[in-house]
Every structure is written in structure tokens, then in C-alpha cells.
Copies of this chain bind each other. A is one copy, B any other.
Amino acid sequence: MNDTAEAEVVLGNLVTALQMLGNCPEFTYLIPEVRVNLAYALREAQTSEDVAAVEGRVTAVHGRPHAAGMPGWGASDHLARRLLEVRKYDPGINAVINFKCDQEIIEVVQQYCMEKGLLLGAVDRTEEPEEVAGRDGSSMPWKVKQLFKKYGVMPRIFYEGAGWGKEPLFLALGDSAVEVTKTAIDIARRYSEKISR
């Protein structure tokens, strides 16, 4: 596959993932205050410009997940840098999605990971050294490194507890935007079932 085809596969895979989210009203329960984004990196990605994400993020409109804009290159800063950092430890990862994290959702994800035989990671921000938390941009490499050191591998799903000024969040990593979206949707449906019982 040449470079143009690879870039189109990335964008098209994001479109397919967004269609899946749009058809899953239960996912609105997992939209955090910072909203959701999906990022997917080219194999040889060096900077955020080589990572595609959703312009304006994914929010809820009329009870359904709704992409504010189209997928585009450089449309995410935070998730894109996250992907590039994660790849330093596990180059097989191409895509990431973030979603809401609270005690109830953690329990659902624990159950999910147990059933699927997946490792569930956790970053404890209270362990974050002060000199790292204080400086913009140095927090993320620390968190990714902490995860890798703690588990010996990069967990495909993990959460970061609340930080000072930072909402707690789940992140799911995987081969493609469609793959991480399937994970998030599976969790959303389990959570929705749980709270409607």
C-alpha cells in the first residue's frame, strides 16, 4: 500500500468508527467533560500532523455521539502526542480513544478485562513528581513511562486517576480506530445495562 492509500485508509477507518459511535446512544454515558477524541497515526508518524483525529472532538447532540467536524490531519494535539509517546514502548499501536472514568465505569472495565483476559492499567497521578506535574508537556511522557515500568508491557486499556486540574480518563489503545471504538462501545453497552438495572 502506498502512502496516499495508507493515509486514506486511516481517514476512512476513522469515518467508519464515527459511524459506529453515532449509532450507539449508550456511548453518550461515557463522554467525559473534555469530550472524546479518536486518533490514528500513520505507521511512520513523527509529529501530530501525521496523526489524524476528529476536528472539534466528539460530543453529544440529541442523545447521540456526534463528531463536531471531519477527521483531519493534526486535528488533535493531546491524543496525538500520546500516541507518539506510547509507540516508543510498543510500536504496534496505531490508534487511541479516550472516555469517561469514574468508580462505576472502572468496575465495568475490570469485569470486561477479566472476561477478555486483558490487562487493565492504571496511572496514579498522586505519584507524579512535582517537577513533572508543574511543567506543561512533561506530564505525559512520565505517565506513559510509569505505565510501561509498572506492567512491563503497554496495557491496551488503562485509566489515569484525577490530577490537580485534570479530569480522570480512560484510554483504549489498539491497531485501528475501529478496533478501539469497538472496545469503547462494548464497555458503554455494559455500563448502560448496569445503570438501567
- List which A133-157 residues lie within 8 A (CB) of chain B: none
Report how far A164 CA is from B22 CA in the complex, Å. Answer: 31
When the two chains form the complex, which single residue of B22, B56, B163 contacts A165, counting CB atoms closer than 8 Å?
A: B163
When the two chains form the complex, which single residue of B55, B59, B72, B164 contacts A164, counting CB atoms closer than 8 Å?
A: B164
Which residue from chain B places its CB closest to the CB of A69 in the assembled complex?
B61
Listed A/B pairs (16) with beta-carbon separation below 8 Å: A1-B1, A7-B12, A8-B10, A8-B15, A8-B16, A9-B12, A11-B11, A11-B15, A11-B16, A15-B70, A55-B61, A56-B61, A56-B66, A57-B59, A61-B68, A62-B69
Kindly list 19 other residue pairs between chains A and B, CB separation below 8 angstroms, not including A15-B70, A56-B59: A1-B5, A7-B16, A8-B9, A8-B10, A9-B12, A11-B11, A11-B15, A11-B16, A12-B13, A15-B15, A15-B71, A15-B72, A18-B70, A19-B72, A55-B61, A56-B66, A61-B68, A67-B70, A166-B167
